[in-house]
Amino acid sequence: MITDRLDFSGRVAIVTGGATGIGYATALQLARLGADLVICSRTTAELEAAAARLTEASGRKCLPVPTDVKSEEQCIAMVERTMAELGRIDVLVNNAGGTRMGPLEAIPTRGWDSIFDLNVKSAYVLTREAGRHMIAQNSGAIVNISSGAGVSGVKGGAHYSAAKAALQMFTRVTAAEWGRFGIRANCVAAGAIASERVSEAWKVAGLKEQEMAKAVPLGRLGTPDDMANMIVFFASDAASYISGETVFVSGGPAIGGTNLG
């Protein structure tokens, strides 16, 4: 049964950006399905509070490791601490990411590099470091978190769109190279997911969620759990023959024409 393949008992998962939003929702599902966790973000107090809630909700171990994923040294240290304290790595969710929007002509080189460091280089470093241990144990699942920007692009986000598209191709090549080690790599692209922080950003930008929802075929904005459902599926044995794919969790395609129904 598929429910048997959603059992993470005895497994260890790393979730970057695991204190809030999509990362927290994913960590909570993994923990409730039996996984022990490592979560990381830059804000220590927020991270420790999230880890305590995760343990209380699931009874599983949750190790909070303050980490700036743009720092190669901190990423390496986080993976080393995971191995030292929990002994293995079965799942890596490269969820940490983000951007500051701006017109192409105004993006400075430093800003471009920063977005690539956050959204692509961090996933590369963590995949490389966690992958060493997955290769040694001949098993593992990597899930990278992209965006609709990486699928179709977004005006005002040339750097972000390019970075997320690069992450999707990195996922595909990882799957092709490491499949022989029993390692799967997949990508989940987020559509209009109304996490708390994203909702606040939309408000600041003057966007109205009710109006945004009208453009979604399913008639609503997504939730962090909508993303977590797909991420956990990809990380589980239920997806044991799926690798190198990107799935867009978007509520349906936005296409031209009229509604004839």
Q: Can you read off the two tokens belonging to residue 27?
A: 């960590």
For residue 234, pLDDT beyond 70? yes
E strand map for the chain:
12-16, 36-40, 62-64, 91-94, 140-147, 183-190, 246-249
- What 254-261 contacts at long range (C-beta under 8 Å, 24+ apart), as own/partner pairs, is 254/215, 254/216, 254/217
Note the pLDDT tens digit of each residue in 32-58.
999 999 999 999 999 999 999 999 999
For residue 240, pLDDT beyond 70? yes
Residues annotated as catalytic (active site), given as ranges: 160
pTM, to two decimals = 0.95
Query: From the CB of residue 194, how many other CB atoms can be counted at a distance below 10 Å?
Result: 18
Confidence of residue 197 (pLDDT cuts 50, 70, 90): confident
Amino acid 206 reads G
The domain spans of the chain are: 2-194+224-248
For residue 204, pLDDT beyond 80? no
What gap in Å lies between CA 96 and CA 121, rounded to an integer?
A: 11
What gap in Å lies between CA 26 and CA 141, rounded to an integer?
A: 14
Instruction: State in words which class domain 2-194+224-248 has.
Output: alpha beta
Q: Percent of the chain scored above 90 by pLDDT?
A: 86
Note the pLDDT tens digit of each residue in 65-87.
999 999 999 999 999 999 999 99
